[in-house]
Amino acid sequence: MTSRTVTLLDVARAAGVSKSTVSDALQGSGRVAEATRDRVRAVAEELGYRPNSAARRLRRASTGAVGLHLPATATRLDYYMNLAFGAVERAQEDGLDMVLLAPSGAAGGRIASRVDGLLVIDPEAGDSAVPGLLDAGVPVVTGERYLGPSAGPSAAVVCDNAASLTALLDHVTERGARRPAVLAPSGSSAWATALRATARSWGLAHGVEVALRTMPFAATPAEAEETTRALLTADPAVDAVICAPDGSAPGVLRAATALGREVGTMGGGGGTGGSNGRGGGTPPEPGTIARPGPGLLVAACVDGPATRGAEPPVTAVDLRPAAYGRACAELLCDILADRAAPDTVRRHAWSLETRASTGSPG
């Protein structure tokens, strides 16, 4: 025997409210008291109510597609490619196509006529395209919060980026580091802002001066190498380097090798010029081969092929980008299907992968 489909009217009768109140409560619209909204959603869940997809699309003149806006530098970063694949896969499960938007964005009206909703990943407060996307008149889910002025509510999937950097700093300290450095990303994204703030607050809380340097959001290994060389030459007491930008950690390893720093250990090895009394050694002369010197721990804020395949493999935070992309797309699908409110915020979990670059087993 086939069970009858649960309707909005069924939910309204069970919750003791009007049909329009149920509709507003499930869509997150209208002036519905929070207690009423929660009761309606609980009743709908208990009854097994599912929106009529065909009717919903007719009401909204659905295009059957959602848009994906990535940072302008995303095309060469492994993290965003994996995120995009995860988002596409999840959207397709709800029968939605994914449209990759140009980095410059487009006027809100044109976007709204082409897609049913938008994913805006790592939005920068300084990105001129973002305000128009957030005010396009369709549901929006941001991957990390938007820190700039917003025209209206948007949903978000967020990571605890402060906690992930704290875990890295705690880890290198437990492995013996006493003078850690953080190569943080510049820019105004929530991720970059959280990492810079956390490096400072962690240092204050632990009575440790964290050497903080900034690099481009999508710094290359060459840029990371140059920044690390300058850092370790100016401040040889640094005994741990935590590198944030995706894929740039191999540059830190190259700089360490060139300066005679032995990655993965805190022991001293003599160096080329002996100890300077601050835990570091004198850099070798240009053209000479560096001998093993004072130890250096190296870690990264974003895991990926560059960290896993490095020599030695680099300790890193696995942000699970494909799962993150899926989570963002799932929230947008839930909003479009009236399964979630348009200002819902969900959390995404990360994990710390310890490897030989911090003296940890792989």
Query: Is pLDDT of 57 > 50?
Result: no
Q: How many domains does the chain have?
A: 3
pTM attached to this predicted model? 0.76
CATH of the domain at 45: 1.10.260.40
User: For residue 52, how many C-alpha atoms fall within 13 Å in the half-sphere facing its CB?
Assistant: 12
CATH number at residue 198: 3.40.50.2300
* Residue closest to 341 by CA, chosen among 129, 93, 41: 41
Q: Identify the band that residue 275 occupies on the pLDDT scale cut at 50, 70 and 90.
A: very low
2-11, 95-104, 148-157, 252-261: range with lowest mean pLDDT: 2-11
Average pLDDT of span 64-82:
88
pLDDT in tens, 314-336: 999 999 999 999 999 999 999 99
What residues are paired with 66 via a beta bridge?
A: 98, 117
Average pLDDT, the chain: 85
Whether residue 181 is found in the same domain as residue 71? no
Give residue 249's domain range.
161-318
Burial 261-293 (b: 16+ CB within 10 A, else e): bbbbbbebeebbeeeeeebbbbbbeeeeebebb
Same domain? 241 vs 226: yes
pLDDT digits (tens, 9 = 90+) for 221-257: 999 999 999 999 999 999 999 999 999 999 999 999 9
Residue in this structure with the two tokens 């919750």, named with its chain if needed: 15
> Domain check: are 90 and 147 in the same one?
yes
- Is the domain of 187 the same as that of 140? no
